[in-house]
Structure 1
């Protein structure tokens, strides 16, 4: 049986890592983050990973795919790839190509969403990251764009698409355990 490979997306600051920590208490999985894989491939420190959004998108995605292939545990029944469907490059959003998700072998797409006020608070409170500060309207637009892109990727790959919020940890655990 091959591994379930879940792409867990959402905009920066939505709380993906926090959600996945809670999920890990219920379901075993290997947790890989796109930013960490790219930073490792570029030999950048983890605190430099936020600046990587300004690097060449195609090159970053090639490094992500190579890093994923090297880092994935072939014995893990479930791998969750924590990343993005769109990248904030400073002067707008860039959509990640469907081919990246196809190359990773994604079998399920999950998009985490939160109220813009929560995202803004998360970004403000996380002093370990360097993220742009946006108003609620901009965060809402970014989240809608991310949702639309994640949904279109799932459609192109003909895989399940789920939208979750912070209260849906148990729901996602059940979905993953059924797989």
Structure 2
């Protein structure tokens, strides 16, 4: 069996978890999140993972790789890493290096996008997470930066790059179903 690792990215509040819940109805995969991999490697409680965005970025990325190595299910045909290509610590967004995705063996990069108004609404309704609050213009800029970095990473690694919306669940499943992702 050839295991495929897919990075599923987008800014905080775009709805990655919601998309992947619907996606799970169409395709079987192991779902891991960047935050939980870092928290597990750092032995931090799950509810404290939002605070990780303020920790040392290089250390967090090292922990993400370490956590992925431990959490990876050798029997999963597809692993979807639900994470970010830009980290926003509330002061400024910082791009994640392609080296991290290369170390994880990512074979495709998927970027989820939606209207920044929806992102703002999602963030305001989610009291379980501590996220910076921005107006829609800033969220649009962050989403653009995230898309550009995801695309750059895909180009650097020579892997497929897809942009999806919440209407593309079935389309993404058809793209990934049995595809070699080259």
Q: With the length of structure 2 as denominator, give the TM-score of the two structures.
A: 0.97
Partner of 1:102: 102
Give the deviation of 1:88 after TM superposition.
0.3
Partner of 2:171: 171
Give the deviation of 1:42 after TM superposition.
1.5
Give the deviation of 1:82 after TM superposition.
0.3
Gaps of 5+ in 2: none
Deviant stretches of 4+, over 2 Å: none
Partner of 1:117: 117
Q: Deviations over 1:34-79 (max 9, x none)?
A: 0001111112111111110010000000000000011010111000
Partner of 1:142: 142
Give the deviation of 1:2 after TM superposition.
2.1
Aligned residue pairs, count: 179
Q: With the length of structure 1 as denominator, give the TM-score of the two structures.
A: 0.98
| SS at structure 1 position matched to 2:11 | coil
- Aligned residue runs from structure 1 range 21-60, under 5 A: 21-60=21-60
Gaps of 5+ in 1: none
Q: d(CA) in 2 for partners of 1:41 and 1:67?
A: 5
Identify the range of structure 1 (10-19 vs 85-94) with the bigger mean alpha-carbon deviation. 85-94
Superposed CA RMSD: 0.7
